[in-house]
Chain A
Amino acid sequence: MTLLFALSVGVLFGSGAYLILKADLLRITVGIVLVSNAANLTLMSSALTRGQAPTYPLAPGVQVSDPLVQAMTLTALVIGFAVTALLVSVAFRVRTSSGSVDIDELSRREQETERELEREDVSV
């Protein structure tokens, strides 16, 4: 199982990294979701025990799943959710105000704006 966990994490992280390198803001967001999923899965698979759910009443003699990593994963999951929602909104906002979610396009425009500002305020 250890190998399978590591493999899943690796594939999640690799796909996430690939998507983050795309030019499209939404794909970048998806990539970040994948990377945070990789982190969550790492946390879960670092559980020292796997077995019945840690909820009373506990069946005697059966191994209990490690509750600590579950609590941590829960926290990470919720924060990851908040970050994702924020990123999606930012991407939407950028599209509304700039008409594009393509980073290359956005960079080009920002440089143009910069140059215009510079032209207005020639230094020294």
Chain B
Amino acid sequence: MPRLSHAAVPALGATALAVASFVALLAIHLGGGGAVDLPWAPTLDLRLSFAVDGLGALYGMLATGIGAVVFAYAAGYLPSHLAHQGRPAREAWRFHGAMVLFMAAMVGLVTARDLLLIFLFWDLTAVASYLLIAFDRHERESRVAALMALLVTGITAIALLIAALVLHARYGSFQLPEVLSALQPGPATTLAGALVAVAGLAKCAQAPLHFWLPRAMTAPTPVSAYLHSAAMVAAGVFLLGRFHPLLQASGPLLDVLLGIGLLSIAVGGVLALTRDNFKQLLAYSTISQYGYVVAMLGLGSARAALAASFYVIAHAIAKCALFLTAGAVTQAGGGKRLSDSGGMARAAPALAVGSGLAAAGLTGLPLTIGFFADELFFAAALQRGPGMALAAVGAAALTLAYIARFWGAIFLGPRPAGAGRASPALTVPVVVLGGLVAVGGVWVQPFAELAREAGTATFGAPDAFKPAYHLDLRAENLMALGTYALGGLIVATRVLWAPVAAGVARLGDAIGPQRIYEVSLRGLNSLSDAVHDFEVRDLRARVRPILVLAAVLVALGILATPSTATFTVGTIGTTDLPLALALAVVIGAALACTVPREHLTLVLVLSTLGFSLAVSYAFFGAPDVALVAVLVETTITLLFFGIFSLVPERVLRREARARESRRRQRINAGIGVGAGAFAFLVVWAALSTPTPEQVVAAEHVRLTPQAHGQDVVTVILADFRGLDTLVEITVVFVAVVGIATLLRRGRLA
């Protein structure tokens, strides 16, 4: 048993949680299902609505059950994984946190009834998968793989959201059962079905969006085992099952699914035959085997739906065991590649038996759950016709060939030097899963019932087909025999087809979808770089368009309302003379601001401007504003001087010497004159047409004594418009905090 260390605590906690969730789901399912329906955002027609039906129970129990086994395995696996990379043991908390998050997202996804809830949990699985695949975040390869998985499954998740909105627009509800019961063929339905299919197919790594899955194998083995047997990839086919009535109503979509499924079987199978790395082989086999499920969902019959559900169970258990085997063998020093592995049967007999059962299950040998999975698969294919039946035999033979290659290369043959014993903590989970595969081969009833209910929930009608052993020459048995023969033939004739398969793999690397992904990602990256470069190259080039566009808008505004823009010159009485003089000084100072080169002179001119403005405010009959303006102007001038005193003189002098090109100065001057002219026109037009009523101001003046004040402006600020002042004080406070932070550290040398 592993030493109960700090790192084991989160693992055991996660395992216990998974077991408890599994038991709870099982109890709810056996109790006839349960539903929760709470209002979430009623005005938006959103409800927190969950229910455990056959489909939800199957996928939920897979996610929690397989989860429990994987978490227990990780308790033994992760400490040495972290120690090997020199990382602290407490990182196990991060790992198991993300694992539990994934499990919770899966359970939420499979029980959710509300379309937007389904989307939320769907996206949450993508986020959790990103965290898990990039767990070895110091490895660039892991980060790239995680980003790829997130982009492929995250971008296609948007398709699911759009589908939800399309369905809501068409059927007026986000409740999936209501939508599915009201389905009618039509363009909106077809569009929604296609969008759902895109999201689901990307998630279950079907060609041509399959390339993210083999890359994701950079994740630690428990992550691969969980994500690619019972969780992430399973979520894809779950979605296709959940929305199956929609797909049925969407014209030829089911045939497209069938085609994509068969293509994925072929692509995944052929590439799996060429892989040397354990996990790469298993990754392509996952693509291929979810291709089975997608193809069966594409067949669109009650029997095919039943077969698909059963296949998901059998595959999840067996494939998880094989992933865990790969991790156990590698940790025991048995290598990572088929070519430098072998003979592990003697070093780890229990592991060999456990994973042998799992391998037999995947290939559909009798006395394993996989036999019934294949029996159902063949039965569903036979319903369609002889062509489909032949394709099914070919697919199963391909599976047999690469799984046999995987198991044989690891456990048979000569043993490499340095291979030790497999850790018991890693062997037990494999044996448990292998045992389950064997139990399912004898006592198929509970699995079949679960699959039947899930199939019924998928297709809408039950199928009576009972998987069982029949010792006769019925078609399914003949197909199974044909599979074994053909699979054996493929294994035996490796020399003949190996170059062809390798050529296909090379072709896929050269022009395959991964290539397209990389090229488009690189293209987007350079586009973003170009925009960024363009943006930061010249700030003024950014300010200019703002000013020019504003001027254009103002000009359009003036042109559009010529009648109201009657300009009045106004009168200048004798009492206005001081104000007019002060404003003349303002104008002069403003123009003078554009001249000086020395910063010090500039600031002095600026303060001249500020004080002359303060004087004008005084002549406006606004003593409060004038006083504040004087205060502000003094403080700003002092601030400028204070900052200049911190800068060495030679720096100031150097900066004063810097000159701009004549051309640029002319452009700037032109824009400045233009901006001033437009501001002048607009302000003149506005001031020429004042609103004659003066109710508010008079009211304020009248009410001031009642507010126990003498100064109307002060009372307005402190009382009538007190909230504005509060916000203003907040702005000042934030600015002060910013200034203090900026000035606290660092001096120019």
Q: Which listed residue, B580, B594, B606, B613, touches A41 by the CB 8 Å rule?
A: B613
Assuming the contacts A13-B675, A15-B594, asked whether A118 and B625 have C-beta atoms less than 8 A apart, the reply is no
Closest residue on chain A to residue B651 by CB atoms:
A95
Q: What A residues does B651 contact at CB under 8 A?
A: 95
Q: What B residues does A55 contact at CB under 8 A?
A: 623, 710-713
B710 to chain A, nearest CB (A): 4
Contact B683–A49 (Cβ < 8 Å): no
Given the complex of chains A and B, what is the CA–CA distance between A40 and B518 in angstroms?
54
Contact B743–A79 (Cβ < 8 Å): no
Q: Which listed residue, A26, A42, A52, touches B602 by the CB 8 Å rule?
A: A26
Contact B676–A10 (Cβ < 8 Å): yes
27 contacts between A and B (CB under 8 A): A8-B590, A9-B680, A11-B680, A13-B680, A14-B673, A14-B680, A21-B668, A22-B660, A27-B602, A33-B610, A34-B593, A51-B621, A53-B622, A55-B710, A58-B701, A68-B696, A74-B624, A79-B728, A81-B732, A89-B643, A89-B738, A90-B742, A92-B742, A93-B743, A101-B655, A107-B537, A124-B525
Give the A-B contact count at a CB cut-off of 8 A: 295
Bitwise interface map of A from 46 to 85 toward B, beta carbon under 8 Å scored 1, else 0: 1111111111111000001111101101110111111111
Interface residues of B in 553-612 (CB under 8 A from A): 567-572, 576, 579-580, 583, 586-587, 590-591, 593-594, 599, 602-603, 606, 609-610
Q: What A residues does B144 contact at CB under 8 A?
A: 124
Q: What A residues does B616 contact at CB under 8 A?
A: 41, 44
Assuming the contacts A14-B679, A73-B625, asked whether A56 and B716 have C-beta atoms less than 8 A apart, the reply is no
Assuming the contacts A22-B668, A24-B658, asked whether A34 and B609 have C-beta atoms less than 8 A apart, the reply is yes
Contact B538–A104 (Cβ < 8 Å): yes
A-contacting 9-mer, from B169-177, B305-313, B414-422, B686-694: B686-694
Bitwise interface map of A from 1 to 38 toward B, beta carbon under 8 Å scored 1, else 0: 11111111111111111111111101100100110011
Contact A50–B628 (Cβ < 8 Å): no
Interface residues of B in 695-749 (CB under 8 A from A): 696-697, 700-701, 704-705, 709-713, 716-717, 721, 724-725, 728, 731-732, 734-736, 738-739, 742-743, 746-748
Contact A86–B735 (Cβ < 8 Å): yes
Contact B697–A68 (Cβ < 8 Å): yes
Contact A78–B576 (Cβ < 8 Å): no
Contact B675–A93 (Cβ < 8 Å): no
Contact B676–A66 (Cβ < 8 Å): no
- Knowing that A22-B540, A54-B621, A68-B697 are A-B contacts, what are 7 other residue pairs whose CB atoms are under 8 Å apart, sorted by A's residue number? A6-B681, A15-B591, A23-B540, A45-B683, A78-B632, A85-B739, A89-B739
Contact A47–B613 (Cβ < 8 Å): no
Contact A37–B713 (Cβ < 8 Å): no
Q: Which listed residue, A34, A49, A82, A101, touches B590 by the CB 8 Å rule?
A: A34
Contact B571–A1 (Cβ < 8 Å): yes
Contact B735–A71 (Cβ < 8 Å): no
> What number of A residues sit within 8 Å (CB to CB) of B?
90
Given the complex of chains A and B, what is the CA–CA distance between A105 and B625 in angstroms?
40
Most buried by B among A6, A24, A33, A45: A6
B589 to chain A, nearest CB (A): 9
A62 to chain B, nearest CB (A): 10
Interface residues of B in 496-536 (CB under 8 A from A): 518, 521-522, 525, 529, 532-533, 536
B515 to chain A, nearest CB (A): 11
Contact B713–A4 (Cβ < 8 Å): no
Given the complex of chains A and B, what is the CA–CA distance between A7 and B676 in angstroms?
9
Q: Which listed residue, B629, B660, B709, touches A77 by the CB 8 Å rule?
A: B629
Given the complex of chains A and B, what is the CA–CA distance between A68 and B538 in angstroms?
41
Most buried by A among B647, B734, B735: B735
Given the complex of chains A and B, what is the CA–CA distance between A38 and B590 in angstroms?
10
Contact A49–B675 (Cβ < 8 Å): no
Assuming the contacts A18-B671, A74-B713, A93-B742, asked whether A81 and B636 have C-beta atoms less than 8 A apart, the reply is yes
> What number of B residues sit within 8 Å (CB to CB) of A?
110
Interface residues of B in 629-644 (CB under 8 A from A): 629, 632, 635-636, 639-640, 643
Q: Which listed residue, B522, B538, B681, B687, touches A5 by the CB 8 Å rule?
A: B687
Q: What B residues does A93 contact at CB under 8 A?
A: 742-743, 746
Interface residues of A, Cβ cutoff 8 Å to B: 1-24, 26-27, 30, 33-34, 37-38, 40-42, 44-58, 64-68, 70-71, 73-75, 77-86, 88-93, 95-97, 99, 101-104, 107, 110-111, 114, 118, 123-124
Q: What B residues does A92 contact at CB under 8 A?
A: 643, 646-647, 742-743
Given the complex of chains A and B, what is the CA–CA distance between A4 and B576 in angstroms?
11
Q: What A residues does B739 contact at CB under 8 A?
A: 85-86, 89
Q: What B residues does A22 contact at CB under 8 A?
A: 540, 660, 668
Given the complex of chains A and B, what is the CA–CA distance between A15 and B321 in angstroms?
76
Q: Which listed residue, B622, B687, B690, B732, touches A65 by the CB 8 Å rule?
A: B622
- The answer to whether B543 has its CB under 8 Å from any CB of chain A is yes
- The answer to whether B620 has its CB under 8 Å from any CB of chain A is yes
B705 to chain A, nearest CB (A): 7
Q: What B residues does A65 contact at CB under 8 A?
A: 620-622
Assuming the contacts A33-B636, A102-B658, asked whether A75 and B725 have C-beta atoms less than 8 A apart, the reply is yes
B585 to chain A, nearest CB (A): 10
Closest residue on chain A to residue B676 by CB atoms:
A14
Contact A11–B713 (Cβ < 8 Å): no
Q: What B residues does A50 contact at CB under 8 A?
A: 620-621
A123 to chain B, nearest CB (A): 5
Given the complex of chains A and B, what is the CA–CA distance between A27 and B668 in angstroms?
13
Q: Which listed residue, B576, B579, B694, B712, touches A49 by the CB 8 Å rule?
A: B694
Contact B655–A24 (Cβ < 8 Å): yes
Q: What A residues does B137 contact at CB under 8 A?
A: none
B441 to chain A, nearest CB (A): 45
Given the complex of chains A and B, what is the CA–CA distance between A19 and B686 in angstroms?
25
Given the complex of chains A and B, what is the CA–CA distance between A50 and B543 in angstroms?
37
- The answer to whether B90 has its CB under 8 Å from any CB of chain A is no
- The answer to whether B547 has its CB under 8 Å from any CB of chain A is yes
Contact B639–A85 (Cβ < 8 Å): yes
Q: What A residues does B613 contact at CB under 8 A?
A: 37, 40-41
Assuming the contacts A19-B593, A21-B543, A68-B696, asked whether A78 and B537 have C-beta atoms less than 8 A apart, the reply is no
A80 to chain B, nearest CB (A): 8
- The answer to whether B677 has its CB under 8 Å from any CB of chain A is yes
Q: What A residues does B635 contact at CB under 8 A?
A: 81, 85
Q: What A residues does B484 contact at CB under 8 A?
A: none
Q: What A residues does B529 contact at CB under 8 A?
A: 114, 118
Contact A44–B593 (Cβ < 8 Å): no
